Amino acid sequence: MANRPYIVGNWKMNGTRALLAEARAIDRGAARAAGVRVAIAPPFTLINPMADAVQEIGVGGQDCHVQPSGAYTGDISAPMLKDAGASFTIVGHSERRAMHGESDAVVLAKAGAALAAGLDVIICVGETEAERDAGQAESVVCAQLQGSLPTGEDVAAKVTVAYEPVWAIGTGRVPSVDDVSAMHRAIRDRLVAIYGEDGAGVQILYGGSVNAGNAAELLSADEVGGALVGGASLTAESFLAIVVAA
């Protein structure tokens, strides 16, 4: 059976409890869009209250530590996310890779920690503008996949890949549909090389400046199974317009 389109909101470092009203409205809207799978990754502080406030949508983390517990001041572990009500976590977002120096090896370790805690993982990959201009976009993304994707029995079913060109995040700029299709086909080939036939079922999300106006076109590109949405996921109105477009 084909996967339902998967639309995930990444709230980043935005939101206090006042924003739970938007999550409730998104949850009500998602209940009317049964053909679409919807989730939000709020800041850590909102995972537990959001999980209690919603019924239809998934709630997840934006990152996790590689260790389950210990002397890591300020960090949050995958078992803690699970305990708070998360069902998945994002790992390897380009903001973590760039601002926290996370290598593919660290992303791989975080993905493994998440799976060990019983969470699904969304693993982000994407090239910088300089890498695209140098004609290296596909090789960079394929190397990130090779280095960041956990392997093992039954792992593919718990993995989602998000292709997020770094230069499209929060900029209002998006790749052409042809470029999105070409990259997503290359990612699919790599997933099949890594996971065998299970790689055909891994959902590949596009992320980077998705909004109500461009969602339908971006989601129509080859091998695009949904979207990872930043800024436009912060209000029910803009996020649900993307859900409806899916």
Judged on CB neighbours under 10 Å (0-12, 13-18, 19+), 48 is middle
Selecting among 95, 131, 138, 164, the annotated active-site residue is: 164
Number of amino acids touching ligand PEP (CB under 6 A):
13
Binding segment for ligand PEP among 63-71, 109-117, 163-171, 181-189 (CB under 6 A)?
A: 163-171
Question: Under a CB-based contact definition with an 8 Å cutoff, are residues 200 and 239 in contact?
Answer: no
Torsions phi, psi of 30, nearest 5? -65, -30
- 91, 228, 240, 246: which one binds ligand PEP (CB under 6 A): 228
- Is residue 207 a contact point for ligand PEP (CB under 6 A)? yes
Least distance CB 41 / ligand PEP (angstroms): 9
* Chain centre to alpha carbon of residue 181: 18
Which residue's CB is nearer to ligand PEP, number 92 or number 199? Answer: 92
Least distance CB 210 / ligand PEP (angstroms): 5
Which residue's CB is nearer to ligand PEP, number 42 or number 230? Answer: 230
- The one-letter amino acid code at 67 reads Q
Whether 93 is a known active-site residue: answer yes
Rounding to the nearest 10 degrees, give the CA dihedral for residues 234, 238, 244, 246. Answer: -70
Binding segment for ligand PEP among 44-52, 106-114, 196-204, 227-235 (CB under 6 A)?
A: 227-235
Question: Under a CB-based contact definition with an 8 Å cutoff, are residues 208 and 174 in contact?
Answer: yes
- The one-letter amino acid code at 98 reads A
- Is residue 60 a contact point for ligand PEP (CB under 6 A)? no
Judged on CB neighbours under 10 Å (0-12, 13-18, 19+), 40 is buried
Question: Under a CB-based contact definition with an 8 Å cutoff, are residues 25 and 245 in contact?
Answer: no
In the chain the first and final C-alpha atoms are separated, in Å, by 17
Whether 129 is a known active-site residue: answer no
- Is residue 223 a contact point for ligand PEP (CB under 6 A)? no
Subset of residues 12 to 41 that bind ligand PEP, contact rule: CB under 6 A: none
Which residue's entry shows tokens 């996020």?
239
Beta bridge partners of 73: none
- Is residue 230 a contact point for ligand PEP (CB under 6 A)? yes
Annotated binding site for substrate: 10-12, 170, 209, 230-231
Mark the binding-site residues, compressed into ranges: 10-12, 170, 209, 230-231
Active site residues: 93, 164
Q: What is the contact surface with ligand PEP in residues (CB under 6 A)?
A: 10, 164, 169-170, 207-210, 228-232
